[in-house]
Structure 1
C-alpha cells in the first residue's frame, strides 16, 4: 500500500491478487485488520496510510524487543550478534546511532 498510495480498494485487490494470489475477500479481511490497528484508512474506497512505513517498522521493532527481550535493547543486540558477525561498517553505523541517541537525551 505504501508504494502505491493513495489507491482505490479495487486496485489493491488487483495488486494483491497478482502479487500474492489472494482472493478479494482475503485482501479486504487483511485491510480491515490493518485499518483496525491504525495503519491505514479507507475513505470512500480510497486506501492510504495513517503512519509511514518507517514509523510502522519502528513500532514493530519496539514491540519485538519488548516481547522477546523484556524491553532490553542490549539483550537483543547480544542475541543477534551471537549468530551474526557485524561488519566494520555496521559497527561504525551502530556507534554513530548510539552517539546520536545519547545527544538527543
Structure 2
C-alpha cells in the first residue's frame, strides 16, 4: 500500500526523481546535491524512506517511480478529503469556495468533470 504523505523537502526530492527518471542512484546523488545541497548519505537515507512507502524503487542502482506524480497527487488529495471531510467532495468544495471565488473557467472545468462522470 502506498503512503501518500511526504514532507515539503521529501516532495522536492520526489519531484527531482519524477522529472529525471529513470536515473542512476549516482546521478540522483548529484541532482540532490545540486538542488537540495544534500550529501550522499542524506540522499540514500531519504531515497530508502520513500521507496519503503511504495512511491519509488531502486533496483540495480536505477531509480524509477512506482506511480506517476499525478497519481501521487490524486491519492494525496483523496486522502486529504477522506481525513478532513469524511470523504465528502461536496463538503470540501463548499469549504474551498467559501474563501475563494471560482472563475467562470474553473466553474466550466468542474462542470465538465461532473458531466464526464455522469457519462462514464
Alpha-carbon distance in 1 for matches of 2:92, 2:39? 37
Three-state SS of the structure 1 residue aligned to 2:18 is coil
1:90 aligns with 2:109: no
Alpha-carbon distance in 2 for matches of 1:57, 1:49? 13
Three-state SS of the structure 2 residue aligned to 1:27 is helix
Aligned to 2:64: 48
Q: Please identify runs of 4+ aligned residues in structure 1 that moved more than 3 A.
A: none
Alpha-carbon distance in 1 for matches of 2:38, 2:84? 31
Gaps of 5+ in 2: 1-16
Alpha-carbon distance in 2 for matches of 1:81, 1:19? 35
Shift of 1:26: 2.2
Superposition CA RMSD, Å: 1.1
Return the match for 1:65 from 73, 81, 89: 81
Alpha-carbon distance in 1 for matches of 2:41, 2:99? 40
Q: May I ask how many residue pairs the two structures share in their alignment?
A: 104
Three-state SS of the structure 1 residue aligned to 2:57 is strand
Aligned to 2:23: 7
Alpha-carbon distance in 2 for matches of 1:27, 1:102? 45
Normalising by structure 2, we get a TM-score of 0.81
Three-state SS of the structure 1 residue aligned to 2:20 is coil
